[in-house]
């Protein structure tokens, strides 16, 4: 077993600390940010594998902290952060080495989120990629789920959806996470099936919709139109005939226009409940909410049923994208989905795009949008706003 990774950040700028911690957590790493190095001796446990240290701090500067780390006999790698000249950084690195400390890299401020992610990714233990724990090892009780709803322990992470031809970020998909008091950040597979089984999925759906629409107002726009927000909705919640009115009421409360919202429903869910949900879906479409059929290819929809669903988007399930280069039937599935979607006048989005080869294949087949780790992992609101800002700056420079 690799030792559990814990990252410490020492930066007097609280925003930077929070950004780094959020990015690390989105990669499944534990991270604690502090603004005052005096806390360091208490937090420096044997689990700490990396320290990100700002050199310029008012109370105790980075050089003093390096000396303290030397005295504590600290073994974790150290990343020096600074907006000052390269020479000062090099001198600080020399000093660190003379104190028997290990320098693991440096970040020159302002840094790009991609640089930070690359640096942190190198610290993901080899036997452990996010999400951190398999759900099968986690026993959550009904009481814990109810108090999580009550205490609002569920948070949304956002993943960009990119137009393949232009590179524009068109949407952000909201993906739920549970900030569990004992287990840390848990992925949806650990709680959505349980919430559905308990009959609590409606409460969860409204909580997430309220949070997502509230946060969508804060998507950084930099003078550009804010990307659309995509919300996942369980088909169980669509059985309620009042769903469209309640949903639009909520959008109105947060001043988000209906056309800026995409509702994603899984194909398998739609096939279970074709008639009762059709009424609700049609009314949502009539009110201009965008509809997406998620995980397409896994639910055995018939062409006839597909024609009846008033959707704007088909999302190719990531399993097909993952295997399309190795497996010809998956490749055919991807090609056919793009064709069917376009024949029905829908936009086609591929999810789970992890490399350039996959993106290039999708581009050549005329797929409209892509989403996946190639662009970004799902990130917390502050980090996704930073990601959007960096992307806009780079686009403007190009
Ligand atoms: P989904 O809607 O198909 O979401 C895409 C999943 O693929 C996400 O997993 C995302 O983290 C993952 N993913 C994205 N890009 C890549 C990639 O390049 N490679 C790989 N390997 N994976 C990638 P996540 O966040 O664990 O979500 C799992 C499922 O949970 C979602 O699948 C969705 O069906 C459900 N879910 C998430 N949030 C909500 C919610 O608020 N409400 C409901 N009802 N369901 C939700
Ligand atoms: Ca989805
Ligand atoms: Ca999907």
Q: How many angstroms separate the alpha carbon of residue 314 from the centre of ligand 3?
A: 10
pLDDT at 276 over 60: yes
Residue 38 Cα, ligand 1 centroid: separation in angstroms? 40
Question: Residue 185 has what pLDDT?
Answer: 87
* pLDDT at site 73: 79
Q: Which residue's C-alpha comes closest to atom 35 of ligand 1?
A: 188
Percent of the chain whose predicted confidence (pLDDT) is above 70 = 94
Instruction: Verify whether ligand 1 is closer than 6 Å to residue 160 (CB atom).
Output: no
**What integer best gives the mean pLDDT of the chain?**
88
Mean pLDDT of 250-270: 94
| Residue 392 or 151, more confident | 151
Q: In the predicted model, is pLDDT for residue 21 greater than 50? A: yes
Measured from the alpha carbon of residue 173, the closest ligand is 2
How many angstroms separate the CA atoms of 124 and 105, rounded? 16
- Mean of the pLDDT values across residues 226-235? 95
Instruction: State the pLDDT at residue 177.
Output: 95
Mean pLDDT of 196-210: 95
**pTM of the complete model:** 0.74
Query: Which is the closest atom of ligand 1 to the Cα of 176?
Result: 38
Name the closest-CA residue to atom 28, ligand 1: 188
Band of pLDDT at residue 195, cut at 50, 70 and 90: very high
Phi-psi bin for 301: left (phi > 0), alpha (psi -120 to 50), beta?
beta
pLDDT tens for each residue of 315-324? 999 999 999 9
Q: Which residues pair with 263 in a beta bridge?
A: 231, 291
Q: What would the pLDDT profile of 239-255 be if each residue is shown by its tens digit? A: 899 999 999 999 999 99
| pLDDT given for residue 131 in this prediction | 47
Coil/strand/helix, residue 88:
helix
**Mean pLDDT computed over 359-364:** 97
Higher pLDDT, 221 or 389: 389
Q: How far is the CA of 65 from the centre of ligand 2 (A)?
A: 45
pLDDT of residue 250: 98
Cβ of 313 less than 6 Å from ligand 1:
no
As a whole number of Å, the end-to-end CA separation of the chain is: 45
Whether residue 325 contacts residue 359, with contact meaning beta carbons closer than 8 Å, is answered with no
Ligand at shortest distance from the CA of 192:
1
pLDDT in tens, 130-187: 445 678 778 888 999 999 999 999 999 999 999 999 999 999 999 999 998 888 889 9
232 lines ligand 1 (CB under 6 A): yes
User: Tell me, what's the pLDDT at 394?
Assistant: 63
Q: Helices 113-121 & 14-26, crossing angle to 10 degrees?
A: 50
Q: DSSP readout, 217-263? A: TTS--TTSPPPEEEEE--GGGGG-TTHHHHHHHHHHHTT--GGGEEE
Residue 221 has pLDDT above 90, yes or no: no
More confident residue, 374 or 2: 374
Ligand 1 lined by 294 (C-beta under 6 Å): yes
Q: List the domains of the chain with CATH numbers.
A: 6-123 (3.40.50.2300), 137-397 (3.20.20.450)
- Which residue shows structure tokens 């077993």? 1
Q: Whose CA is nearest to atom 23 of ligand 1?
A: 352
Among the residue ranges 83-97, 195-209, 229-243, 360-374, the one predicted with the least confidence is: 83-97
Q: Which of 79-88, 268-277, 359-368 has the highest mean pLDDT?
A: 359-368
Q: Check residue 311 and give its pLDDT.
A: 94
Question: What is the CA(193)–ligand 1 centre distance, in A?
Answer: 13
Q: Say if residues 154 and 148 touch (Cβ distance below 8 Å).
A: yes
How many angstroms is it from 175 CA to the middle of ligand 1? Answer: 6
Cα separation of 270 and 196, whole Å? 15
The per-residue pLDDT for 130 is 47
pLDDT at 206 over 90: yes
pLDDT in tens, 83-132: 877 788 888 888 888 888 888 888 888 888 888 888 888 777 654 444 45
């Amino acid at each position: 077993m690799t030792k559990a990774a814990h990252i410490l950040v020492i930066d007097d700028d609280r925003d930077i600390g929070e950004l780094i911690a959020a990015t690390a957590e989105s990669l499944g790493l534990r991270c604690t940010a502090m603004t005052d190095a005096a806390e360091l001796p208490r937090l420096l446990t044997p689990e700490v594998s990396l320290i990100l240290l700002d050199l310029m701090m008012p109370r105790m500067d980075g050089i003093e902290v390096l000396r303290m780390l030397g005295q504590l006999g600290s073994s974790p790698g150290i990343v020096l952060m600074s907006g000052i000249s390269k020479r000062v950084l090099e001198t600080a690195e020399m000093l660190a080495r003379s104190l028997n400390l290990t320098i693991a890299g440096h970040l020159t401020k302002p840094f790009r989120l991609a640089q930070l992610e690359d640096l942190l990714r190198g610290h993901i233990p080899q036997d452990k990629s996010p999400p951190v724990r398999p759900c099968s090892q986690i026993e959550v009780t009904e009481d814990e789920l109810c108090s999580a709803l009550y205490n609002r322990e569920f948070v949304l992470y956002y993943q960009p959806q990119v137009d393949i031809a232009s590179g524009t970020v068109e949407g952000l998909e909201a993906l739920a996470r549970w900030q569990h008091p004992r287990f840390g950040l848990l992925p949806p597979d650990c709680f959505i099936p349980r919430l559905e089984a308990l009959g609590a999925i409606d409460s969860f759906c409204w909580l997430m919709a309220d949070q997502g629409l509230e946060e969508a107002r804060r998507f950084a726009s930099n003078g550009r139109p804010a990307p659309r927000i995509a919300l996942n909705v369980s088909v169980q919640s669509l059985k309620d005939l009042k769903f469209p009115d309640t949903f639009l009421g909520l959008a109105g409360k947060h001043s988000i226009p209906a056309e800026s919202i995409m509702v994603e429903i899984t194909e398998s869910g739609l096939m279970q409940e074709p008639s009762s949900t059709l009424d609700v879906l049609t009314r949502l479409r009539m009110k201009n909410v965008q509809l997406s059929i998620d995980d397409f290819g896994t639910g055995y929809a018939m062409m006839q049923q597909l024609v009846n669903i008033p959707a704007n988007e088909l999302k190719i399930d990531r399993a097909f994208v993952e295997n399309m280069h190795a497996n010809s039937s998956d490749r055919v599935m991807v090609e056919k989905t793009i064709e069917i979607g376009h024949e029905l006048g829908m936009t086609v989005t591929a999810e789970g795009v992890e490399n350039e080869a996959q993106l290039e294949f999708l581009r050549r087949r005329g797929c409209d949008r892509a989403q996946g780790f190639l662009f970004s992992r799902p990130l917390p609101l502050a980090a996704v706003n930073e990601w959007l800002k960096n992307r806009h700056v780079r686009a403007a420079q190009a």
